[in-house]
């Protein structure tokens, strides 16, 4: 059996968490990632019949029974993942009851998955209902995206439209727009349910005055979605107090979307 630390999915988690910490998106123990894996892929590195222990999830995920995820740990710092992945990450399988996680590897200090796991599982379920290839959910606190929450209306159409105006690539990268939730208490099922409902429509959901959730087919796509929003938010924050001389017009956004053949939210434009 191969060394689990050489597994591509472990390396992706190590590299991504390190990069997100470096960018300032995930201070202290802020942020979390869940990545759904193929059972056959994991079986190359772990004995799938060997369960280290079981952990209640606090949520019933019937449609995810038998699915395996690699998940960041609760209270863990992203900056430490690369040096000690077995403590800061865990590989879990949703058990037959749908409410228990079977630990297959990781959390070696007795820890457990992120407290946001129910929100992640709900988001995975929502995204899989509209895109069977969805595999990754990332939650982070990008600085400029968060700052924008305080000076811009938390309205999905307005928020998306402003981001689309900031960079030519934006309407191409996230043509489905950005969902927005007001401030809500985190770490419970209520915010998870609200996020999942938005995830049926959007791959990106802003948590007001908190951060952002992104979902995608792989780590690059999901990271790239958040990265593009953060770049657009940075440009907005650098220019919001200045008179705007130029902008990307709505007609030009349509031209972009059609040129790149993406299905965009026409109702988010002012035509």
The answer to whether 44 is a known catalytic residue is: no
Which neighbouring-strand residues pair with 205?
179, 213
Closest CA to 247 of 162, 182, 184, 170: 162
* Helix ranges restricted to H, the chain: 8-22, 39-43, 85-88, 117-130, 143-149, 156-166, 170-173, 189-199, 219-239, 250-259
Angle, in degrees to the nearest 10, between helices 189-199 and 117-130: 20
Q: Which of 12, 102, 116, 156 is catalytic?
A: 116
Q: What is the DSSP string of 147-170?
A: HHHTTS---HHHHHHHHHHH-TTH
Backbone angles phi, psi at 54, to 5 degrees: -115, 150
Beta-carbon contacts of residue 103 (< 8 Å; ≥ 6 apart): 51, 52, 53, 54, 55, 90, 91, 92
Task: Supply the DSSP symbol for 268.
Answer: G
- Give the SS3 label for residue 133: coil
Q: Quick count: other Cβ atoms within 10 Å of Cβ 96?
A: 10
Q: Catalytic residue positions? A: 116
């Amino acid at each position: 059996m191969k060394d689990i630390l050489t597994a591509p999915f472990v390396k992706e988690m190590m590299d991504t968490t390190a990069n997100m910490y470096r960018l300032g998106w995930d201070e202290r123990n802020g942020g979390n990632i869940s990545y759904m894996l193929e059972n056959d892929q994991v079986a190359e590195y772990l004995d799938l019949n060997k369960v280290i222990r079981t952990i209640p999830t606090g949520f019933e995920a019937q449609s995810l029974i038998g699915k395996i995820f690699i998940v960041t740990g609760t209270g863990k710092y992203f900056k430490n993942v690369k040096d000690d992945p077995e403590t800061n990450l865990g590989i879990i399988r949703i058990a037959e009851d749908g409410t228990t996680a079977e630990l297959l590897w990781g959390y070696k200090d007795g820890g457990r998955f992120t407290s946001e796991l129910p929100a992640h599982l709900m988001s995975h379920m929502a995204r899989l209902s509209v895109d069977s290839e969805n595999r990754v959910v990332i939650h982070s606190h990008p600085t400029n995206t968060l700052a924008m929450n305080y000076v811009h209306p938390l309205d999905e159409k307005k928020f998306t439209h402003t981001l689309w105006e900031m960079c030519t690539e934006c309407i191409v990268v996230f043509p489905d727009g950005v969902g927005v939730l007001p401030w809500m208490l985190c770490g419970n099922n209520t915010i998870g349910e609200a996020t999942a409902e938005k995830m049926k429509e959007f791959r990106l959901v802003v948590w007001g005055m908190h951060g952002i959730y992104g979902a995608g087919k792989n780590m690059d796509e999901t990271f790239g979605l958040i990265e593009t929003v953060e770049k657009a938010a940075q440009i907005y924050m650098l220019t919001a107090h200045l008179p705007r001389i130029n902008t990307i017009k709505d007609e030009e956004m349509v031209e972009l979307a059609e040129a790149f053949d993406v299905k965009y939210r026409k109702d988010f434009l002012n035509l």
